[in-house]
Structure 1
Amino acid sequence: MLTYFRQRYPTRVEIDKTGKIIEVSLPNPMNDERLHIALSTDGRHWTPLNNNQPIWDQKMRDQFIQRGPDGLWRLVATGGDGDTAARKQFGPTCIYATSPDLIHWKTESFPHLMNDVRNEAGQMARNIWAPEYFYDKDTQTYTLLWSSSFEDAGWKKSRLWYCQTTDWKTFTPAKELFAPNYSVIDGTLIKQDDTYYLFHKEEMFGAEYGERRAIRLATSKKLEGPYTVYEGPLNKGQLVPTITEGPSVMPDPIKKGWLLLYDYPMADCYGISSSLDLFHWTIETDISLPEDARHGSVSQITKAEAEALLKLYPNTIVRPKKLHK
């Protein structure tokens, strides 16, 4: 199952040699910040449900969904900042929802995770972006991770933060998880053998830095870090040689290895790469994904769950197969 929202950016942000921010208009903008679902049996060819329309009207971005050990599906997503007064008093928050069946969703209350964090100037964080969580079976603990910035834009000097919970009611204080020498957003975490793999987007660009908006990898033997940035064969360790973001990693369902899914935000399409070792990636070309999909997350569901979703959210419009390369 691939969960995502839909968007075509209205502009691309650039920074000239004087440091001035320039917004370049992009064609055919659109925005549908709600929960969408697509299904696949091979991880490469995805069929959107409900004619690629949302299956829930709750507004959100960057939704991340996994099934907990108790069988309950938990969703966290960018959003939840509609109450301006609360935001000014307590800082930003995010969306948290639960579902027993991926069909009936309930929005739950959620704390302002950065409420007690201030920068050197005493300022609150301005955002909580792309929250995700990692469940540790040994400690029965959920680790939430997200990106936050104290600057005037969420992508500036951003760091990954984390906190932990066992019951989704009480949370440890937020701490920095990953603070490399570049701005970082869109973190996603997996564990293989005794190593934690932190995929993320480096958010550095402009005349001073060049174009470095792409997915990178850092590893650690401990969940809390410290993480070592992988310096690979591409530009400064980037895993895909162009502007990419919103990574999600899954075991390859049809052969040995892994799949890395990501979106090309400036090109309005999605990409998939494959790897045997999580370090060296090859771009897959025979793929098909929902139009305008952005920042997806992947999870495994049962045949019965897939059939229930297909029955409730059928496709009535036949679209030609569209390849994303």
Structure 2
Amino acid sequence: MPRLLLLAAALLAGDTRAEDKDEAKGDVWALAYFRQRYPTRVEIDADGRIRDVPLADPMSVEKLHFALSTDGRNWTPLAGNKPVWDQQLRDPFIQRAPDGIWHLMGTGRAAKDPRNGKRPVCVHATSRDLIHWDTVESLPLMEGVSGPDGKKPGNIWAPEWFIDPKSGEFFVFWSSSFEDAGWKDSRLWFCRTKDWKSFTPAKVLFDPDYSVIDGTLREVDGTFYLFHKEEEFGERTGERRAIRLAYSNNIEGPYEIHQGPLNRGQIVPTITEGCSVMPDPSGPGWLLLYDYCMTNRFGASSSPDLKEWKVVEDVKFPPDARHGSAFKLKADEAERLRKQFGAPASVK
């Protein structure tokens, strides 16, 4: 296959090959995130009773923030770590479509529905410059879906999209639960769209023997790597609230769970969530970014192969950053954002 076609296929798959990194010198990486410090930590005792343990200095700014980096380890916030857009959302995910348009997805606040109580909200918007956003809407991803006993889904959490390299369709996926809290008995779901107007019926993408949220995808050489958070905890089950990995040769699965050396297969042996995967700008391999949600800090791990990971100790992220998504910019795009929102001229 000609080199240009190979590069186009890699772009559609969301993949960045090591051989192409020399062509990407001068590129800057952006991190989209929101800010929060949890007010409580939810615990479950031996009898299954839920209790909220208060945490210090809670805060929440559920709006889009940006930070920039050239090494993936040191991130400089724009706008003084304040929002760059006034739309309310959590878990922002941004990626450039093949036509050059940026598509943002995020978790919105559940809306009141007189028929079904709360209606889950999935934020979607588009932009040509990451400064001005058009057509803010809530996507009907779980419309018509019912769970056990006719229950309606109460949430659409951390939605993301990916280009199916075989069909060229937008592959949209997220987590939903039919319980009274989004982290209970949650599964990853998906649908497809060609135009962001009509969507195929929602189907379950990933249904392991644990509750799962915060999925993100990366395709390399025909293998789809599905990073996600296992959300199981309690005196009987132990603390299992960290990032795990599953993989498949088909974007729709089935996915096989990777059994790594840490914490029953978990990549980071402590409470982490909201991960994003990016090629390592400093050399061959990959970086996994995530937030330590109960201790209000952000972290990173590195890997040569997307399976075996090591925590990177020397990192710097914006204070109170939560659930970020990393995406690549050209140097002039990054400079435009700096001029618009304000940031130091140099960024590492």
TM-score range for the pair, normalised by the shorter chain length: over 0.9
Amino acid at match of 1:34: K
What is the match of residue 207 of structure 1? Answer: 235
SS in 2 for 1:311: helix
Q: CA deviation at 1:87?
A: 7.8
What is the match of residue 40 of structure 1? Answer: 69
What is the match of residue 142 of structure 2? Answer: 114
What is the match of residue 269 of structure 1? Answer: 297
Amino acid at match of 1:81: A
Tell whether the 8 Å contact from 1:91 to 1:112 is kept in structure 2 after alignment. no
Tell whether the 8 Å contact from 1:64 to 1:131 is kept in structure 2 after alignment. yes
Alpha-carbon displacement from aligned partner over 1:166-197 (angstroms, at most 9, x marks no partner): 11111100000000000000000110101100
Provide the aligned length of Structure 1 versus Structure 2.
316
Q: CA deviation at 1:152?
A: 0.8
Alpha-carbon displacement from aligned partner over 1:47-101 (angstroms, at most 9, x marks no partner): 000100000010000010000001000000000533x127838942300001000
Change (3 A) 1:161 1:289: same
Confirm whether residue 178 of structure 1 aligns to residue 206 of structure 2: yes
Structure 2 residue runs without a partner (length 5+): 1-29
Tell whether the 8 Å contact from 1:91 to 1:114 is kept in structure 2 after alignment. no
Relative CO higher for 1 or 2, CA cutoff 8 Å, sep ≥ 6?
2
What is the match of residue 6 of structure 2? Answer: none
- Picking from 232, 242, 245, the partner of 2:260 is 232
- Picking from 270, 273, 279, the partner of 1:245 is 273
CA–CA separation in structure 2 for the residues paired with 1:80 and 1:265? 19
TM-score (norm 1): 0.94
Change (3 A) 1:195 1:140: same
What is the match of residue 96 of structure 1? Answer: 124
What is the match of residue 222 of structure 2? Answer: 194
What is the match of residue 155 of structure 1? Answer: 183
Tell whether the 8 Å contact from 1:147 to 1:160 is kept in structure 2 after alignment. yes
Change (3 A) 1:80 1:169: farther
What is the match of residue 69 of structure 1? Answer: 98
Select between 105-114 and 201-210 the one with higher mean Cα deviation.
105-114
Q: CA deviation at 1:123?
A: 1.1
CA–CA separation in structure 2 for the residues paired with 1:242 and 1:144? 28
Structure 1 residue runs without a partner (length 5+): none
Amino acid at match of 1:62: D
TM-score (norm 2): 0.88
CA–CA separation in structure 2 for the residues paired with 1:52 and 1:87? 39
What is the match of residue 166 of structure 1? Answer: 194
CA–CA separation in structure 1 for the residues paired with 2:261 and 2:165? 34
CA–CA separation in structure 1 for the residues paired with 2:138 and 2:298? 31
Identity, % of aligned pairs?
Answer: 59
